[in-house]
Amino acid sequence: MEWLQDAPVTTAVSTPTAGITVDINAVRREMHKDFRLAGKGDPFQHGYYDEYAGLEVDVDGILQPHLEKVETLLDGGEVDTAVSLITAIFESFIDGLTDLDEWVYEYNEDVFSEGNLELGAALAEIILSQTLNSTQEDEWRAQITDWEAALDDLDIATMALEHGWTYPPLVAAMEGNITEKGAWEDEAPYFADELSLARLRILARQGRTEAYINLAAAEGKVELSTNMLAESGKVSQAVSEAKSYLVYPKEILSLGYVLVRKGEVEAALDIAEHGLNLEQDMGKAELAQWTRDQAKAAQNHDLALQAAQVAFMSSRDLADYQAVQQLSGQQWPAIQTLLLQNLQQSGQVSKKIDIYLHENMLLEAMHALDADGFFYDRDIHRVIEATSETHPNWGISKCKRKAEAIMDAGRAKDYETAVSWLRIAKEIYQQHQRQQEWQTYLEELLTSHQRKYKLVPMLRNIRS
């Protein structure tokens, strides 16, 4: 579940997990290798020379596998090992940046800044997971200053160290005294989200449920606060607050997962039905598909059918169309009309063709391709195959147009593609006993393109 990845929830204090091992030297070697390959991509990767192509550095790909290990260690209570690992990651990241060519660094400066924030957030979470004395705080302060000289911005870690868990606005927020400023005395810093998520993960590990709920609400993390309410058994409050404050279907779905896992299926279907009517579309197809299946399992046929229709109107997928058909019974003719009207509004030609061919609506499938300026060749192939018997001229015309565009432009490297289109046209001619028309057309092509010495032999090979 997405929300659990952002802020893991537990109802008990985490205990150290034996057997978590990390090869620090292997991490250093892997990051060294990744940076050695960084910015050395193919400048011809787009089919032409581009001096900037290949300079991109995948900072997430370099950092995330190792930062995920840090998170695993913290989840298992292995804070000291997490400190050793984050130290190796920082040092390897700094070494890697130092060794990069200047133009590669400059091209990726923005993504490196994002990487700095990811590193700083992980470091902040480690600092906040420790109980530090004044000497240890000074040691961390010196270490942050040292790393910051190379990485510029580790404000999130500095603030975590300075505020700890005793910062008055934070304490007030965790106690439920929520203001418009959240857990901040003044305006929230740019890294407020990352720092609050780190704090929430720690509170979850410690089993401090009330503090988690209050801080999540104070920091505007309503999805997380409602999910934790449900986790802690406050189902009615979770559903009520979700209806009042959640605006995205994907957030409703996240709560639905929690409620079903807790055995609160009726509450899950209640909030899911609410989510189907939200104005925002983000995650609506997924919510509707899940609601359809949950309602069907709970023998709530009306909600299952409603959700099935919302799922199709959000996705326009054939599978969702068929799901509506299966649930509709005698209502199908009327509902089908509504679904097809909705489908016409879609700009996704492939999905239109999926359904039109499923329903043998050949004219509609052909019109979908004719009316759209962009489509995939595989869609033309599918419609030609379906219509070659009943509408041969349409398929022949499409094949000719695709082939002639290549041949007339003299795109020699694509001649094989042009000939493959002509072969399809030839098959349709033969299917309808129109070989003479094919031969006449082919002779015209040979005459028109007689000076294209690469093309002519290819055309002759498909004469008969």
pLDDT digits (tens, 9 = 90+) for 107-158: 899 999 999 999 999 999 999 999 999 999 999 999 999 999 999 789 999 9
Among 387, 418, 452, residue at a domain's last position: 387
In a domain, residue 127? The reply is: yes
Q: By residue range, what is the domain housing residue 402?
A: 396-460
Distance CA 140, CA 376 (A): 57
pLDDT digits (tens, 9 = 90+) for 246-293: 999 999 999 999 999 999 999 999 999 999 999 999 999 999 999 999
Task: Express each pLDDT in 67-84 by its tens digit.
Answer: 999 999 999 999 999 999
Task: State which of 333, 360, 387 marks the end of a domain.
Answer: 387
Domain membership flag for residue 25? yes
Residue 214 domain-assigned? no
109 within domain boundaries: yes
Token pair in block for residue 291: 């609601």
360 and 331 in a single domain? The answer is no
Residues 353 and 339 grouped into a single domain: no
Q: Which two tokens stand for residue 22?
A: 């990390």
The answer to whether residue 210 is domain-embedded is no
Is position 212 within any domain?
no
Q: What is the pLDDT of residues 153-194, one digit of tens each?
A: 899 999 999 999 999 999 999 999 999 999 999 999 999 999
- Both 367 and 401 in one domain: the answer is no
- Looking at the structure, do residues 371 and 411 belong to the same domain, yes or no? no
85 and 5 in a common domain: yes
Nearest one of 72, 96, 95 to 82, comparing CA atoms: 72
Domain total of the chain: 4
49 and 125 both lie in a single domain: yes
433 and 365 co-located in one domain:
no
Statement to judge: residues 88 and 194 lie in one domain: yes
Token representation of residue 253 = 């779905």
Q: Are residues 104 and 116 in the same domain?
A: yes
In this structure, is residue 311 part of a structural domain? yes
Query: Same structural domain for residues 382 and 422?
Result: no
pLDDT digits over 406-428, tens only? 999 999 999 999 999 999 999 99
Tell me, yes or no, whether 317 and 357 share the same domain. Answer: no
Q: Determine, yes or no, domain membership for 172.
A: no
Position 7 scores a pLDDT of 42
Is 120 found in the same domain as 22? yes
